[in-house]
Structure 1
Amino acid sequence: MEEYLFIAKAAGFIGAALAIGMGTFGSALAQGLVASRACENIGKYPESAGNIRATMFLALILIETMAIYALLISGALILFAK
């Protein structure tokens, strides 16, 4: 019975590591793409730089929530792996 408990705890820790790893990887990739496209469009249309920048910041905020959710899920997996 002890080894099954150990396997369950290990699975929780591995799941937490995967959740935070994939969540931050996806978030970082998306943020890079958004910033890249914003820089391209500001270069093409400098007169609308303010609108592009505001939209970019809104998109970055929404993307960052994915990393925060991944952190919360991994924290919950570690906390409740007891």
Structure 2
Amino acid sequence: MFARSAVAVLGAGGGIGQPLSLLLKSDHLVTGLSLYDIRGAPGVAADVSHVDTASEVNGYAADQLDEALQGANVVVIPAGVPASLE
């Protein structure tokens, strides 16, 4: 049996983080979703929060990493810097 979990997504404003956050919001095992990014996470949180599930969504700006991680059982980091092709 799987436990219900609070999940923090670090990199929620990116091309992978946004759809991942949407999928996590739709999962009945996710009780809370903390979305963090250096840019745009509060906006992503506002959009994702419209999905009609019981989980709570909060968005955190660049200077709020500690708050975003508080209470998280699972941390997912889809963020990264693309490697140079040179």
TM-score range, shorter chain: under 0.3
Q: Given the two structures, how large is their TM-score scaled by the length of structure 1?
A: 0.28
Select the structure that is richer in helix.
Answer: 1
- Mark the structure with the bigger radius of gyration: 1
- The structure showing larger relative contact order (alpha-carbon pairs under 8 Å, at least 6 residues apart) is 1
TM-score of the aligned structures, taking structure 2 as reference length: 0.27
More strand by share: 2
